[in-house]
Structure 1
Amino acid sequence: MFKSVLLAGVVVGALAVAGAAGAAELQVKMLNSGSQGMMVFEPATAKLKAGDTVRFIPTDPGHNVETIKDMWPAGVAEVKGVMGKEVVVKFAKTGVYGFKCMPHWTMGMTFVAKVGDGKPNAADAEAAIAKAPPLAKKRLTADFATLK
C-alpha cells in the first residue's frame, strides 16, 4: 500500500513539473540600437502560447515597457514598467498584445506578441496600429503582418 501511494505521489509530482516545463520564457532586450535600427525591442515580435512569459530587459536606464492602448485583450491587466527596470509578463489569455517604450514611442520602439490564434482582439489591434505615431505605425504594421 505504501509503495502505491508513494508511486502515485511521484507521478502527480512529475506531471506538475512537466506542465510547468511546457511554458516558455522569451527574453526581449530594450535597445538603443538593434537590427531594425534605433530604439528597438529585440526581438520585435513573438508567437506565444498561453502560460508563456516574456522578460523585458532594459539595456539602458532610459527604457521602460508598457501597454499600447487598445492593443490588449479585454479583461487583462495593463502593464506599465518603471524606467530602467526589468518587467516580466505572463500571458494567460489568447490575443494580441502591444507594448511600447513610452519615451521612444514616437521613434517606433514597439513589441507585438500574438498568444494562441490572436483572434479575440486582432481587429482592435489593427485599429490601434492605425492611430499610432508614424514611425511606430510603420514598425507595428510590418511586425503585426509577420504574426498573421
Structure 2
Amino acid sequence: MRKAHIIATLFGAGLAFGLTTGLTNAAEFEIQMLNKGEKGGMVFQPDFIRAMPGDTIKFLSSDKGHNAEAIEGMLPEGVEPFKSKISKDFELTVDEEGLYGVKCTPHYGLGMVAVIAVGASENEDTARAVKHRGKAKKRFDSIFEEYDATN
C-alpha cells in the first residue's frame, strides 16, 4: 500500500508541475501573410493546416497590408469571429474541433484565404456550402482538394 501511495504522490506532483509550468502537448503553427508566395500572389502560406484542439496558429505579417479574419459560416459552433489588425502579427488558439475559414479582408477577392482543420470536422458541410467570389472560390477548391486527400 505504501508503494502505491508513493506512486500516486509522484504522479500528482508531476501533473501539478505540468499544469503550473504550462507544459502541454499543444503545437504551434506559422502562416505567413504574403504578397507573393508559392501559389501565386496575395496568399497565406501555407493555406491549409491540420491542427488539434489547443494548438496555436500564428499569422505572421511577412508583407504589409494583410490581416486574418474569420469567414462567416466557416467556423465551428461556439467559436467567436476574429479579425486582426492590418499589418500586425496575430495569434489564434483553436480550441474547438471543426473547419476554420480565414480571409485577408482587403485581398479576399484576390484569393487570399486559408483553412485550418482542427480534429473532427463537424462543420464541414456548412463550411463547404459558403459561397465565395473571385479567386477565393478557386483557391478554396484547391484547399478542399488537399483537405480531402488528407482524410
| TM-score band w.r.t. shorter chain | 0.7 to 0.9
Equivalent residue number for residue 3 of structure 2: none
Instruction: Give 1:8 deviation, angstroms.
Output: 5.6
2:30 and 2:58 in contact (8 A); partners too: yes
2:140 matches 1:137: no
For structure 1, list consecutive stretches of 5 or more residues without a partner in the other structure: none
Equivalent residue number for residue 81 of structure 1: 84
Q: Which residue of 91, 96, 110 corresponds with 2:94?
A: 91
> 1:22-41 counterparts in 2 under 5 A?
22-41=25-44
SS in structure 2 of the partner of residue 112 of structure 1: strand
Q: Which moved more, 1:14-23 or 1:87-96?
A: 14-23
SS in structure 1 of the partner of residue 123 of structure 2: helix
SS in structure 2 of the partner of residue 88 of structure 1: strand
Equivalent residue number for residue 62 of structure 1: 65
Aligned identity (percent) is 37
Equivalent residue number for residue 47 of structure 1: 50
**Residue identity in the other structure for 2:87:** G
SS in structure 1 of the partner of residue 100 of structure 2: strand
Instruction: Give 1:12 deviation, angstroms.
Output: 2.2
2:44 and 2:114 in contact (8 A); partners too: yes
For structure 2, list consecutive stretches of 5 or more residues without a partner in the other structure: 1-5
2:132 matches 1:125: no
SS in structure 1 of the partner of residue 124 of structure 2: helix
**Residue identity in the other structure for 1:137:** K
Instruction: Give 1:13 deviation, angstroms.
Output: 3.4
TM-score computed with the length of structure 2 as normaliser: 0.86
Instruction: Give 1:50 deviation, angstroms.
Output: 0.6
Instruction: Give 1:20 deviation, angstroms.
Output: 3.6
Distance 1:122 1:40, change over 3 A: same
**Whole-angstrom CA distance in 2 between matches of 1:31 and 1:47:** 20
**Whole-angstrom CA distance in 1 between matches of 2:70 and 2:82:** 5
**Whole-angstrom CA distance in 1 between matches of 2:58 and 2:101:** 14
TM-score computed with the length of structure 1 as normaliser: 0.87
Instruction: Give 1:7 deviation, angstroms.
Output: 4.3
